[in-house]
Structure 1
Amino acid sequence: MLNNYKYFLVLAEELNISNAAKRLYISHQSLSKYLKGLEEKHGVAFFERKPKITLTSAGKIMQNTLRQIELLDQNMENQLIDLKEDKSGTIHFGITEGRYPIIVPKLLKEFYDLHPKVELIIHRRTSPQMQEMVLNNSLDLFLSGVDNIVTPLVKYETILHEQMYIVISDNLLKQYFPDQYPGCINTFADGADLRLFQHVPFVLNKKNFNSRILLDKHLSERGISLNCINELTQPDIHHLLCAEDYAASFCLTMYLRGIDGLNESGNTNSHLHVFPISDFAYFNPLALIYHRNKIFPSYTEDLKKIVKRYCSPASYLQQS
Structure 2
Amino acid sequence: MLHLRYFVAVAEELNFSAAARRLHMATSPLSQRIKDLERELDLRLFERDTHSVTLTPGGEALLPIARDVLERVNRIPWRLREVTRSERGTMFVGIPSGLHPRLRELVNTLAERADEWCELLRWPGTSKALVTGVCEGRLALALARLPISDPALDMLPVMSERLGAIVPADQFTGRDSVALAELADLSFVVAPQELRFSYFDQLDREISERGIKKRIKLTDSGYGGIAEVVSSGIAFYFSMLNAESPMHGYALENTRVLPFTDFEPVLDTVLIWRRDRASGGDLDDIVAAAREVFADSLRM
TM bucket normalised to smaller: 0.5 to 0.7
5 Å-filtered alignment, 1:179-258, equals 181-182=173-174, 185-186=175-176, 188=177, 192-206=178-192, 209-228=197-216, 230=218, 234-235=222-223, 238-239=226-227, 242=230, 247-252=235-240, 257-258=245-246
Q: 1:244–1:199: structure 2 CA closer, same or farther, 3 Å change rule? A: closer
CA distances 1:111-170 after superposition (whole Å, capped 9, x unpaired) = 5555287322323233333323222222212111221x2321111111223332101242
Please, what TM-score do these two structures have when normalized by structure 2? 0.58
Q: Against the structure 1 CA distance between its residues 247 and 304, is the aligned structure 2 distance closer, same or farther, given a 3 Å change threshold?
A: farther
Structure 1 letter corresponding to 2:238: F
Structure 1: distance between partners of 2:189 and 2:98: 18
| Cα distance, 1:62 vs structure 2 | 6.8
AA partner of residue 123 (structure 1): W
Paired AA for residue 283 in structure 1: V
Any idea what SS the aligned residue of 2:262 has? Answer: coil
- In the other structure, the counterpart of 1:16 is none
1:14-50 Cα deviation digits (max 9, x unpaired): xxxxxxxxxxxxxxxxxxxxxxxxxxxxxxxxxxxxx
The 3 A distance-change label for structure 1 pair 62 and 228 is closer
Amino acid at match of 1:287: V
The aligned length equals: 238
- Whichever residue aligns with residue 152 of structure 2, its letter is L
Q: How does 1:64-213 map to 2 (within 5 A)?
A: 64-68=71-75, 88-96=88-96, 98-99=97-98, 102=101, 106=105, 110=109, 113-114=112-113, 115=115, 118-147=118-147, 149-173=148-172, 181-182=173-174, 185-186=175-176, 188=177, 192-206=178-192, 209-213=197-201
- Secondary structure of residue in 2 paired with 1:166: strand
What is the alpha-carbon distance in structure 2 between the residues aligned to residue 240 and residue 300 of structure 1?
A: 41
- Of the three residues 277, 286, 289, the one matched with 2:269 is 286
Q: 2:253 — aligned with what? A: 269
2:72 and 2:92 mapped to 1: Cα distance? 22
SS in 1 for 2:218: strand
Aligned amino acid, residue 167 of structure 2 = I
Match of 2:285 in 1: 298
Deviation at 1:287, TM superposition (A): 0.8
Taking the aligned partners of 2:225 and 2:288, their CA distance within structure 1 comes to: 33
- With 104-113 and 295-304 compared, the bigger mean Cα shift is at 104-113
The equivalent residue for 1:36 is none
- The letter of the residue matching 2:158 is I
Q: Provide the secondary structure at the position in 2 that maps to 1:294.
A: helix
Letter in 2 for 1:269: E
Kept in 2: contact 1:204–1:232 (CA 8 A): no
TM-score for the superposition, normalised by structure 1: 0.55
Q: Distance in 2 between matches of 1:63 and 1:227?
A: 38
Higher normalized helix content (fraction of residues):
1
Return 5+ residue gaps in structure 1 as ranges.
1-8, 14-51, 82-86, 174-180
- Amino acid aligned to 1:252: M
Q: Is the 8 A contact 1:155 1:290 kept in 2?
A: yes
Question: Does the 8 Å CA contact 2:155/2:272 hold for their aligned counterparts?
Answer: yes
One-letter amino acid matched to 2:216: C
Q: Which amino acid aligns with 1:159?
A: V
**Contact conserved, 1:88 with 1:117, CA < 8 A, in 2?**
yes
Percent identity between matched residues is 16
Rounded Cα–Cα distance in structure 2 between residues aligned with 1:108 and 1:244: 37
Q: Which residue type is aligned with residue 134 of structure 2?
A: V
Say if 1:204 and 1:250, in contact at 8 Å, map to a contact too.
Answer: no
Deviation at 1:109, TM superposition (A): 5.4
Q: Answer with 63-72 or 282-291: which moved more.
A: 63-72
Shift in Å at residue 212 of structure 1? 2.0
